[in-house]
Amino acid sequence: MHHLPALASVQAICYCPPMSIRLDQTVPFGRWLGEYELMFSLSASDRQRRILDCAAGPASFNAELTADGGTVCSFDPLYQFPGDEIQRQFFHKLDQVIDQIRATPEHWVWRYHRNPDELRQHRIGVMERFLADYRTGQGTDRYVCGALPTLPFEPDQFDLALSSHFLFLYSDHFSQAFHLESIRAMTRVASEVRIFPLIALRAERSQHLEPVCERLQRDGYRVSIEPVGYELQRGGHDMLRVYRP
Protein backbone atom coordinates (compact mmCIF):
# COMPACT_ATOMS: atom_id res chain seq x y z
CA MET A 1 0.00 0.00 0.00
CA HIS A 2 2.93 2.31 0.56
CA HIS A 3 4.42 4.19 -2.34
CA LEU A 4 6.58 7.26 -2.75
CA PRO A 5 6.80 10.22 -2.39
CA ALA A 6 5.79 9.76 1.24
CA LEU A 7 7.97 8.54 4.05
CA ALA A 8 6.58 5.22 5.24
CA SER A 9 4.46 5.48 8.33
CA VAL A 10 3.04 2.56 10.28
CA GLN A 11 0.10 4.68 11.38
CA ALA A 12 -1.26 4.90 7.89
CA ILE A 13 -0.27 1.61 6.37
CA CYS A 14 -1.75 -0.65 9.02
CA TYR A 15 -4.59 1.62 10.07
CA CYS A 16 -7.58 -0.16 8.58
CA PRO A 17 -10.60 -0.27 10.90
CA PRO A 18 -11.66 -2.73 12.12
CA MET A 19 -8.35 -3.75 13.60
CA SER A 20 -7.66 -6.72 11.33
CA ILE A 21 -4.19 -5.58 10.39
CA ARG A 22 -1.21 -7.58 9.19
CA LEU A 23 2.13 -6.58 10.60
CA ASP A 24 3.95 -7.96 7.56
CA GLN A 25 2.26 -5.29 5.44
CA THR A 26 3.33 -2.37 7.62
CA VAL A 27 6.41 -0.15 7.77
CA PRO A 28 6.73 0.75 11.45
CA PHE A 29 8.53 4.08 11.43
CA GLY A 30 8.14 6.54 14.30
CA ARG A 31 9.32 10.00 15.29
CA TRP A 32 10.79 11.37 18.45
CA LEU A 33 10.08 14.25 20.81
CA GLY A 34 12.20 16.82 18.98
CA GLU A 35 10.28 16.18 15.76
CA TYR A 36 6.94 16.39 17.55
CA GLU A 37 7.90 19.72 19.07
CA LEU A 38 8.55 21.13 15.59
CA MET A 39 5.74 19.37 13.73
CA PHE A 40 3.13 20.56 16.23
CA SER A 41 4.73 23.79 17.50
CA LEU A 42 4.66 22.39 21.02
CA SER A 43 5.43 24.97 23.69
CA ALA A 44 6.73 24.42 27.21
CA SER A 45 3.16 24.76 28.49
CA ASP A 46 1.89 22.26 25.88
CA ARG A 47 4.30 19.69 27.28
CA GLN A 48 2.46 19.93 30.62
CA ARG A 49 -0.95 19.19 29.11
CA ARG A 50 -2.72 15.83 28.95
CA ILE A 51 -1.88 14.68 25.41
CA LEU A 52 -3.49 12.02 23.21
CA ASP A 53 -1.33 10.87 20.27
CA CYS A 54 -3.69 9.34 17.69
CA ALA A 55 -2.21 6.84 15.24
CA ALA A 56 1.01 7.17 17.20
CA GLY A 57 2.76 4.09 15.84
CA PRO A 58 6.21 3.32 17.26
CA ALA A 59 7.06 6.92 18.11
CA SER A 60 9.30 7.58 21.11
CA PHE A 61 7.34 10.77 21.93
CA ASN A 62 5.45 9.04 24.74
CA ALA A 63 8.57 7.53 26.30
CA GLU A 64 10.52 10.78 26.17
CA LEU A 65 7.81 13.12 27.40
CA THR A 66 6.71 10.71 30.14
CA ALA A 67 10.31 10.52 31.38
CA ASP A 68 10.26 14.33 31.51
CA GLY A 69 7.13 14.36 33.67
CA GLY A 70 4.53 14.67 30.90
CA THR A 71 1.24 12.82 30.45
CA VAL A 72 0.78 11.06 27.09
CA CYS A 73 -1.54 8.34 25.82
CA SER A 74 -0.52 6.73 22.52
CA PHE A 75 -3.35 5.19 20.49
CA ASP A 76 -2.84 2.83 17.54
CA PRO A 77 -3.92 -0.63 16.27
CA LEU A 78 -0.21 -1.52 16.17
CA TYR A 79 -0.33 -2.09 19.91
CA GLN A 80 -2.00 -5.45 19.49
CA PHE A 81 1.49 -6.77 18.62
CA PRO A 82 4.40 -7.47 20.99
CA GLY A 83 7.52 -5.34 20.76
CA ASP A 84 9.73 -8.06 19.31
CA GLU A 85 7.41 -8.49 16.32
CA ILE A 86 7.30 -4.74 15.70
CA GLN A 87 11.09 -4.57 15.85
CA ARG A 88 11.52 -7.45 13.38
CA GLN A 89 9.21 -5.81 10.88
CA PHE A 90 10.98 -2.46 11.28
CA PHE A 91 14.37 -3.90 10.35
CA HIS A 92 12.83 -5.98 7.57
CA LYS A 93 11.49 -2.82 5.88
CA LEU A 94 14.01 -0.17 6.95
CA ASP A 95 16.52 -0.31 4.11
CA GLN A 96 13.82 -0.71 1.46
CA VAL A 97 12.33 2.61 2.52
CA ILE A 98 15.69 4.38 2.77
CA ASP A 99 16.62 3.15 -0.71
CA GLN A 100 13.35 4.54 -2.08
CA ILE A 101 14.10 7.88 -0.46
CA ARG A 102 17.60 7.98 -1.97
CA ALA A 103 16.04 7.31 -5.38
CA THR A 104 13.72 10.34 -5.17
CA PRO A 105 15.87 13.22 -3.89
CA GLU A 106 13.51 15.86 -5.30
CA HIS A 107 10.83 14.89 -2.77
CA TRP A 108 12.84 15.47 0.41
CA VAL A 109 14.18 18.41 2.42
CA TRP A 110 17.33 17.73 4.44
CA ARG A 111 17.35 20.23 7.27
CA TYR A 112 16.32 18.40 10.43
CA HIS A 113 17.86 15.20 9.07
CA ARG A 114 20.96 15.96 7.03
CA ASN A 115 20.72 13.01 4.63
CA PRO A 116 19.12 9.55 4.24
CA ASP A 117 21.82 7.88 6.33
CA GLU A 118 21.18 10.20 9.25
CA LEU A 119 17.42 9.68 8.86
CA ARG A 120 18.04 5.93 9.06
CA GLN A 121 20.00 6.29 12.28
CA HIS A 122 17.36 8.58 13.77
CA ARG A 123 14.62 6.05 13.01
CA ILE A 124 16.63 3.26 14.61
CA GLY A 125 17.10 5.41 17.71
CA VAL A 126 13.38 6.14 17.86
CA MET A 127 12.52 2.46 17.59
CA GLU A 128 14.96 1.52 20.36
CA ARG A 129 13.54 4.17 22.71
CA PHE A 130 9.96 3.19 21.86
CA LEU A 131 10.58 -0.51 22.45
CA ALA A 132 12.26 0.02 25.81
CA ASP A 133 9.17 1.88 27.01
CA TYR A 134 6.55 -0.18 25.18
CA ARG A 135 7.71 -3.49 26.63
CA THR A 136 6.69 -2.27 30.09
CA GLY A 137 3.87 0.04 29.01
CA GLN A 138 1.93 -2.21 26.59
CA GLY A 139 -1.55 -2.81 27.93
CA THR A 140 -1.46 0.19 30.26
CA ASP A 141 -3.31 3.48 29.85
CA ARG A 142 -0.23 4.91 28.07
CA TYR A 143 -0.47 2.54 25.05
CA VAL A 144 -4.06 1.89 23.99
CA CYS A 145 -4.89 -0.35 21.04
CA GLY A 146 -7.60 1.02 18.76
CA ALA A 147 -8.36 2.82 15.52
CA LEU A 148 -9.90 6.12 14.53
CA PRO A 149 -12.61 7.26 14.39
CA THR A 150 -13.56 5.20 17.47
CA LEU A 151 -11.88 6.64 20.56
CA PRO A 152 -12.53 4.72 23.82
CA PHE A 153 -12.05 7.77 26.02
CA GLU A 154 -14.24 10.09 28.07
CA PRO A 155 -15.16 13.61 26.90
CA ASP A 156 -12.41 16.07 27.85
CA GLN A 157 -10.14 13.30 29.08
CA PHE A 158 -7.27 15.14 27.33
CA ASP A 159 -6.29 18.73 26.73
CA LEU A 160 -4.60 18.23 23.36
CA ALA A 161 -4.93 15.56 20.66
CA LEU A 162 -2.24 15.11 18.01
CA SER A 163 -2.16 13.15 14.77
CA SER A 164 1.12 12.75 12.90
CA HIS A 165 1.43 11.31 9.39
CA PHE A 166 -1.98 9.73 9.16
CA LEU A 167 -4.93 12.07 8.60
CA PHE A 168 -4.67 13.88 5.23
CA LEU A 169 -1.45 12.07 4.30
CA TYR A 170 -3.41 9.01 3.18
CA SER A 171 -6.28 10.92 1.61
CA ASP A 172 -6.45 8.54 -1.36
CA HIS A 173 -7.22 5.68 1.03
CA PHE A 174 -9.54 7.38 3.54
CA SER A 175 -12.60 9.41 2.62
CA GLN A 176 -13.51 12.98 3.44
CA ALA A 177 -16.23 11.61 5.73
CA PHE A 178 -13.65 9.52 7.58
CA HIS A 179 -11.50 12.61 8.14
CA LEU A 180 -14.45 14.62 9.47
CA GLU A 181 -15.56 11.83 11.76
CA SER A 182 -12.03 11.33 13.08
CA ILE A 183 -11.46 15.02 13.80
CA ARG A 184 -14.82 15.32 15.52
CA ALA A 185 -13.99 12.26 17.62
CA MET A 186 -10.66 13.81 18.62
CA THR A 187 -12.34 17.10 19.59
CA ARG A 188 -14.77 15.16 21.76
CA VAL A 189 -11.96 13.89 23.97
CA ALA A 190 -9.70 16.98 23.73
CA SER A 191 -10.62 20.63 23.25
CA GLU A 192 -7.76 21.20 20.78
CA VAL A 193 -6.52 19.05 17.88
CA ARG A 194 -3.34 19.44 15.81
CA ILE A 195 -2.68 17.48 12.62
CA PHE A 196 0.54 17.26 10.56
CA PRO A 197 1.29 17.16 7.63
CA LEU A 198 -1.46 18.38 5.30
CA ILE A 199 -0.11 16.87 2.09
CA ALA A 200 -1.12 13.52 0.62
CA LEU A 201 1.24 10.78 -0.52
CA ARG A 202 1.66 12.37 -3.93
CA ALA A 203 3.27 15.40 -2.21
CA GLU A 204 0.34 17.72 -2.98
CA ARG A 205 -2.08 19.38 -0.57
CA SER A 206 -4.74 16.86 0.43
CA GLN A 207 -7.94 17.05 -1.59
CA HIS A 208 -9.89 16.64 1.65
CA LEU A 209 -8.32 19.57 3.49
CA GLU A 210 -10.37 22.47 2.12
CA PRO A 211 -13.81 20.80 2.28
CA VAL A 212 -13.08 19.40 5.74
CA CYS A 213 -12.05 22.82 7.04
CA GLU A 214 -15.09 24.48 5.45
CA ARG A 215 -17.47 21.95 7.01
CA LEU A 216 -15.87 22.26 10.44
CA GLN A 217 -16.10 26.04 10.28
CA ARG A 218 -19.78 25.89 9.28
CA ASP A 219 -20.34 23.70 12.32
CA GLY A 220 -18.74 26.26 14.62
CA TYR A 221 -15.24 24.84 14.99
CA ARG A 222 -12.29 27.24 15.01
CA VAL A 223 -9.83 26.15 12.32
CA SER A 224 -6.43 27.47 11.27
CA ILE A 225 -3.58 26.30 9.04
CA GLU A 226 -0.19 27.31 10.41
CA PRO A 227 3.40 26.93 9.19
CA VAL A 228 5.69 24.91 11.45
CA GLY A 229 9.44 24.52 11.78
CA TYR A 230 9.66 21.01 10.35
CA GLU A 231 9.76 19.77 6.77
CA LEU A 232 10.96 16.39 5.54
CA GLN A 233 8.57 15.68 2.68
CA ARG A 234 8.87 18.66 0.38
CA GLY A 235 5.84 20.89 0.84
CA GLY A 236 4.89 19.26 4.15
CA HIS A 237 5.45 22.20 6.49
CA ASP A 238 1.94 23.16 7.67
CA MET A 239 -0.18 22.05 10.61
CA LEU A 240 -3.95 22.12 11.04
CA ARG A 241 -5.21 23.38 14.39
CA VAL A 242 -8.86 22.76 15.36
CA TYR A 243 -10.82 23.88 18.40
CA ARG A 244 -14.28 22.48 19.02
CA PRO A 245 -17.28 24.84 19.32
List the chain domain ranges.
10-243
pLDDT bracket for residue 21 (50, 70, 90): low
Task: Give the per-residue pLDDT at 203.
Answer: 85
**Residue type at 143?**
Y
Tens-digit pLDDT profile for residues 173-219: 999 999 999 999 999 999 999 999 999 988 899 999 999 999 999 99
Task: Give the per-residue pLDDT at 25.
Answer: 61
**Residue type at 28?**
P
Q: What angle do CA 48, 51, 54 make, to 5 degrees?
A: 160
Number of CB atoms found within 10 A of residue 228's CB: 18
Tens-digit pLDDT profile for residues 128-183: 999 999 999 998 999 999 999 999 999 999 999 999 999 999 999 999 999 999 99
10, pLDDT greater than 80: no
**Range 10-243: architecture per CATH:** 3-Layer(aba) Sandwich (3.40)
Contact of 186 with 163, CB cutoff 8 Å: yes
H or E, element range at 185: helix 176-189
Distance CA 190, CA 64 (A): 21
Task: Give the per-residue pLDDT at 129.
Answer: 98
Distance CA 119, CA 32 (A): 12
pLDDT bracket for residue 19 (50, 70, 90): very low
Distance CA 173, CA 185 (A): 19
Residue % of the chain over a pLDDT of 90: 86
- The mean of the pLDDT values for the chain is 90
20, pLDDT greater than 60: no
Task: Give the per-residue pLDDT at 24.
Answer: 58
Enumerate residues 6+ apart whose C-beta is below 8 A from 241: 192, 193, 194, 223, 224, 225, 226
DSSP state of 233: B
Q: What does the longest C-alpha to C-alpha distance in the chain come to? A: 46
Q: Within 13 Å, how many C-alpha atoms sit on residue 45's CB side?
A: 1
Enumerate residues 6+ apart whose C-beta is below 8 A from 7: 29, 97, 101, 165, 232, 233
Task: Give the per-residue pLDDT at 110.
Answer: 97
pTM metric for this prediction: 0.91
pLDDT bracket for residue 17 (50, 70, 90): very low
